[in-house]
């Protein structure tokens, strides 16, 4: 190993240690009996189900709406593109409590847009869709930026070839461009899902109920203290870690 590599590993190691220490201490100090009692009781199981379902729904919405946007940003030039890119990254810079307030102001059933949504059965205050909306909002930058990065790497000349061979724009997108960014889409899905699962601030404001696991952990921390909160969060932590590892390993093999 070169000298520089050794130095870089050592410096990088500090950051890894910084991340690992709380995680390991969390796992090591969690009482398994507590986990069995509080992590898998009816309320926790239901909250876990709601959290995961909402995170998965928000991820699907992001992939469906974010992929065309990412492609447009990677391929086309249009006025205001810089501004749109800034708007996409905005959720990274806004405190999540504020995100919750903003989502509520715009889409609650008392707001004009919210009335429209409520008529479509998507009332957001204290509802499943409220959790989904908050999750989508905070995950937009991760999803769109990751997929755009993939499209940036697809040579437009390949698309020109497909067009010359008779494929329409849509067919070229579906058969050539999209399959070439599969890896980026999987990564985007994983990151968005993980970001959604870790969101609390915005969800607390928009939809405290139905209680998702994210909110339940906070509530139990406030009501019963650290031990119960840790036990409640334990299955969530393991699930997320497993999902990350599986996708990374599968993605790496590809």
Partner 1 sequence: MIFLEDVWVNLRDFELRGITLSVSKGEYFIVMGPSGAGKTVLLQTILGIYKPWRGKIFIDGVDVTDYPPEKRGLSYVPQNYGLFPHMTVEENIAFGLKVRGYSRREVKRRVREIADVLGISHLLHRNPKTLSGGEQQRVALARALVVEPKAILLDEPLSALDYRTREEVIKFLQKLHSSLKFTAIHVTHDIVEALELGTRVALMFNGKVVYSGQLTEILCNPHYVGLLSSQGLVNFLEGKVVGFINGVLLVDLCGVVIKVKSTTKIGAGSRVLLAVNSGDLEIHKDSTGAGNVLRCRVEKMKYRLSYYEVLVRYNGIKLKVCASTREVKKLNLKPGDSVWVRIPEDCVKVVYS
What is the binding site for partner 1 (CB under 8 A)? 77, 155, 157-158, 160-169, 171, 175-176, 179-180
Residues 6+ apart with CB under 8 A from 149: 184
Residue 90 CB, shortest distance to partner 1, in Å, is 28
Residue 76 CB, shortest distance to partner 1, in Å, is 13
Q: Which is nearer to partner 1, 42 or 157 (CB)?
A: 157
Q: Cα–Cα distances in Å, from 229 out to 34, 213, 221?
A: 10, 11, 5
Residue 190 CB, shortest distance to partner 1, in Å, is 21
Residue 85 CB, shortest distance to partner 1, in Å, is 18
Q: Which is nearer to partner 1, 69 or 167 (CB)?
A: 167
Long-range contact list for 82-86, CB < 8 A, 24+ apart? Answer: none
Q: Which is nearer to partner 1, 42 or 155 (CB)?
A: 155
Residue 155 CB, shortest distance to partner 1, in Å, is 7
Q: Which is nearer to partner 1, 179 or 225 (CB)?
A: 179
Residues 6+ apart with CB under 8 A from 131: 50, 51, 54, 203, 206, 207, 210, 212
Beta carbons of 137 and 205 less than 8 angstroms apart: no
Q: Which is nearer to partner 1, 27 or 158 (CB)?
A: 158
| C-alpha–C-alpha distance, residues 147 and 153, integer Å | 10
Q: How many CA atoms, within 13 angstroms, populate the side-chain half-sphere of residue 224?
A: 13
């Amino acid at each position: 190993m070169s000298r520089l590599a050794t130095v870089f590993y050592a410096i990088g190691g500090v950051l890894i240690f910084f991340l690992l220490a709380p995680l390991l201490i969390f796992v090591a100090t969690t009482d398994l009996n507590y986990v069995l009692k509080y992590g898998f009781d009816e309320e926790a199981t239901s909250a876990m189900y709601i959290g995961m379902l909402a995170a998965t729904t928000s991820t699907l919405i992001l992939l469906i709406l974010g992929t065309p946007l990412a492609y447009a940003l990677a391929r086309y030039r249009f006025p205001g593109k810089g501004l749109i890119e800034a708007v996409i990254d905005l959720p990274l810079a806004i405190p999540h409590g504020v995100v919750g307030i903003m989502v509520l102001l715009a889409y609650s059933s008392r707001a004009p847009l919210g009335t429209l949504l409520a008529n479509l059965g998507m009332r957001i205050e204290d509802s499943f869709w409220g959790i989904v909306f908050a999750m989508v909002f905070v995950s937009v930058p991760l999803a769109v930026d990751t997929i755009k990065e993939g499209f940036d790497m697809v040579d437009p000349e390949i698309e020109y070839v497909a067009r010359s061979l008779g494929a329409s724009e849509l067919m070229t997108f579906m058969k050539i461009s999209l399959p070439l960014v599969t890896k980026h889409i999987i990564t985007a899905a994983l990151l968005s899902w993980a970001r959604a699962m870790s969101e609390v601030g915005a969800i607390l404001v928009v939809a405290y109920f139905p209680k998702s696991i994210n909110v339940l952990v906070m509530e139990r921390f406030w009501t019963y203290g650290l031990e119960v909160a840790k036990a409640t969060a334990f299955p969530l932590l393991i699930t997320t870690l497993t999902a990350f590892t599986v996708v990374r390993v599968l993605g790496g093999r590809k």
